[in-house]
Chains A and B, each alone.
Chain A
Amino acid sequence: MAVTAADAHRAIDAVWRIESPRLIAGLTRIVRDVGLAEDLAQDALVAAVEQWPESGVPDNPGAWLMATAKHRAIDRLRRNERLDRKHDELGRELEAAQKMSTAVPESGGEFGDDLLRLVFIACHPVLSTEARVALTLRLLGGLSTDEIARAFLVPEPTVAQRIVRAKRTLTAARVPFEVPTGADLAARLDSVLGVIYLIFNEGYSATAGDDWMRPALCLDALRLGRLVAELLPREPEAHGLVALMEIQASRTNARVGPSGEPILLLDQNRGQWDQLLIRRGLAALDRAEALGGALGPYALQAAIAACHARARTAAETDWAQIAALYDALAQLAYSPVVEINRAVAYGMAFGPAAGLELADALCSEPTLRSYHLLPSVRGDLLAKLGRSDEARSEFERAAALTRNARERDLLLERAAACSRS
């Protein structure tokens, strides 16, 4: 079969997705500048696009890209040297590195360390959240700026500019290429996990009509999460986040109905849950728990998701356990949204009155004033208590607040049902 140019380009894309994070990480270690490293990696990609359709993909494409990028680095530095002598030292270092190994180092060990350093640079706190997300997807996910733009529904130049600025910021701040240690590690890891979960949620919130790049973000996030957990096996929250994402992803097929309508967790057909991802999620949660100590926010959320995953039917759900986990989560990471969920769990575990007590306490919460979830939850609890009139007005209020048309229909239906009872 003839290999067409389009075939060759798709094959190069595939190699790029696999190799680019390690390539950029390895180059960053040598040149100590992530922006320059990415430019060099791009140079190598351009060379591959020029040569591989003719020559075929080399046997060890990673080594080829690294060798090509290093050559470009030396060329560039020689050119710059004539203009600027201060690059001398860097040039010598590069040539030495070039002589030492043209081969790609083995996976694991040093390589893994470089990848981890790159993760921490891409999610560095000197950058805005948007910049961290874009840079992480670009450097570690192997996504193009166009793909990132499509996934986040923003114009491509915006993403391109975000990345250019981010790289400039990192250079200006002289952010070192290292894995943070001690007390620093916890805060920096928090940022890394936050970026990955944000990417996951962006993909998870995608709807049927969206570009497929959006749901694909879940896969990018899972890949990144699994990578970080493998590279930091002693960090329980890294495993906790992976567990949470695996279990949430297991419900992908069950959470949308045939006409694109969202299906709530308790109404989902559990036969459509992906048992493979559930098993992976539970195993990741076991790893987090086995490391000892109190569970962090991601592991707690994963433990809640695991309660649902373990129940073969909605009726078998261990609500008392979920309520206890929400108690722990509310203590550790209080937020009004966690509190609403805690009210729901209490309602299920200890009866609607117990749930309503928690929900009522949130009525003065200013951040929830325009959020449909609170009146919707209160409506449900009031209806269960037989307080139909109050329930109806809560459902109506929730319907007026939601921006999702299908959800609005659902809420209005429930309001109408209250009038009938």
Chain B
Amino acid sequence: MRFLLYEVEGSNASTPPSPALMAEMGKLIEETTKAGILLATGGLGARSTRVRSSSGKLSVTDGPFTEAKELTGGFALIEVKTKEEAIEWAKRFRRIVGDGESVVQEVFR
């Protein structure tokens, strides 16, 4: 099973991570790579643009979108056997980065 792990936050939270935090994250990425479960990671730009279709009419809106929780920071695509295993990795991530919210969502192939 594949899961996408990503952070959601209000769009105002965008302080750059400290070097210590980056080092801890680096270790976690190394650990998941060695465990053979990490398929891909990526960072996300601070600003997003939405392309909507409503009654067949397309509109393009630049963020930030204050009304909704946005996907921020980074994401990891992992391949594990169970949802619980994905959750355990998300917990390990949260223990490093501290307060905030991570989403664990299955990705179908």
Contact = CB atoms under 8 A, between A and B. Distances in A.
A11 B87 contact: yes
B41 to A, nearest CB: 12
* A interface, size bucket: 20 to 34
Nearest to A216: B81
Nearest to A15: B88
Nearest to A227: B36
Given A10-B84, A17-B81, A223 B31 contact: no
A179 to B, nearest CB: 15
A18 B88 contact: yes
Contacts, number: 60
A337 interface: no
A219 B79 contact: yes
Interface residues of B, number: 22
B27 A106 contact: yes
A190 interface: no
B30 interface: yes
B36 A17 contact: no
Given A274-B109, A280-B39, A17 B30 contact: no
Interface centre among A14, A17, A225, A274, by most chain B C-beta atoms within 10 angstroms, is A14
A59 B34 CA distance: 21
B109 A18 contact: no
Interface in B31-48: 31, 33-37, 39-40
Interface string B46-60: 000000000000000
Given A14-B88, A223-B37, A108 B79 contact: no
Interface string A217-232: 0010011111100110
Contacts of B35: 18, 223, 227
Interface in B44-94: 77, 79-82, 84-85, 87-89
A151 B73 CA distance: 39
Query: A-B pairs with the 3 shortest C-beta distances?
Result: A226-B36, A223-B36, A14-B84
Interface of B: 27, 30-31, 33-37, 39-40, 77, 79-82, 84-85, 87-89, 95, 109
Interface of A: 10-11, 13-15, 17-18, 59, 106-108, 112, 216, 219, 222-227, 230-231, 252-253, 274, 276, 280
